[in-house]
Structure 1
Amino acid sequence: MIKGSCLCGDIRFETAAKPQGASMCHCSQCRKQSGGIWSSAYVKDSELTITGPVSWYEASPNAKRGSCPRCGSFLFWKAHDEDTTSFALGAVDGATGMKIEKHIFTASKGDFYEIADGVPQKD
């Protein structure tokens, strides 16, 4: 069981499913919202339990982002046409047992760092 929460604890999430697609996102939206690189993995919506007052922001015509209205933690990313939800690996309580599989949107990464871990990159 993977469990996580926002910084203040108002929002909690959990899943018994094995998360997929552990990645580091370098897109400008993730960088602006998180202040850096956003790491996440996803599970089917039906396998993710979320409790608390998630504030959903329509970041684009294709997806929305979920955060805590009290502490501001950026916790979720959800494409409108998919049956999965990504959750922030940094919000997981304890060890995740996962390894990053890929870096995504690397073409728009910040100029103040390099990606040098040898993990595959996708523009």
Structure 2
Amino acid sequence: MGDRQKIDGQCLCGAVQIAAVIDAPTLVACHCGMCQRQNGGPYISIMTEQAGTEASGPIKVFKSSDWAERAFCGTCGSTLWYGTLHDGARYLSSGLFPDAAGAPLTLEYFSDNCPQGYAFSGDHRRMTEAETIAAFTEGGEPGA
């Protein structure tokens, strides 16, 4: 186990404040169509401890599918998190935290949907759309 630490972040305008606990932080990128439409590119989240996450400010939540919600700042529109409804998990936007808490990219979802105009370098796991959907629908730990 790594050393648990608290990280603090905020949206673009500062109206939403986020505090989270991390242990061996990692980044995950998603190239699904909804993430691309919402963010103008991939959605990059930082893996945090769910129990240690606190958020305050003008938070707006949009139910984007039968299984998920997306949260954003009601003032500036910054993306805050992608959340799964069945377990209440929140995958916080890495951009909320300075230097994305120094976390390395370890996983890409929907890697075969990544536009041709960019690609992430480095040696990390890349799951195709079929692999991503199978991991989530089988109730397993995606990316494990």
Q: Which structure shows the bigger proportion of residues in helix conformation?
A: 2
The normalised TM-score by structure 1 is 0.88
Q: Which runs of 4+ in 1 moved over 4 A?
A: none
Equivalent residue number for residue 102 of structure 1: 107
Verify: 1:92 aligned to 2:97, yes or no.
yes
Larger radius of gyration: 2
In structure 2, the residue matched to 1:59 is 64
Q: Which residue of 2 aligns with 1:68?
A: 73
Q: Which residue of 2 aligns with 1:121?
A: 126
**1:30 shift after superposition:** 0.9
Tell whether the 8 Å contact from 2:20 to 2:49 is kept in structure 1 after alignment: no
Q: How many residues align?
A: 123
CA distance in structure 1 between the aligned counterparts of 2:100 and 2:78, rounded to whole angstroms: 19
In the TM superposition, what is the alpha-carbon distance from 1:94 to its structure 2 partner?
A: 4.7
Verify: 1:82 aligned to 2:87, yes or no.
yes
* C-alpha RMSD over aligned residues: 1.9
Partner of 2:139: none
Aligned AA for 2:65?
A: S
Deviation at 1:53, TM superposition (A): 1.5
2:50 maps to 1:32: no
C-alpha distance in 1 between matches for 2:24 and 2:55: 15
Tell me by how many angstroms 1:37 deviates.
Answer: 1.5
**Identical positions, percent:** 24
Distance 1:15 1:103 in 2: 22
SS of corresponding position for 1:65: strand
- How much has 1:54 moved relative to structure 2? 0.9
SS in 1 for 2:48: strand
Gaps of 5+ in 1: none
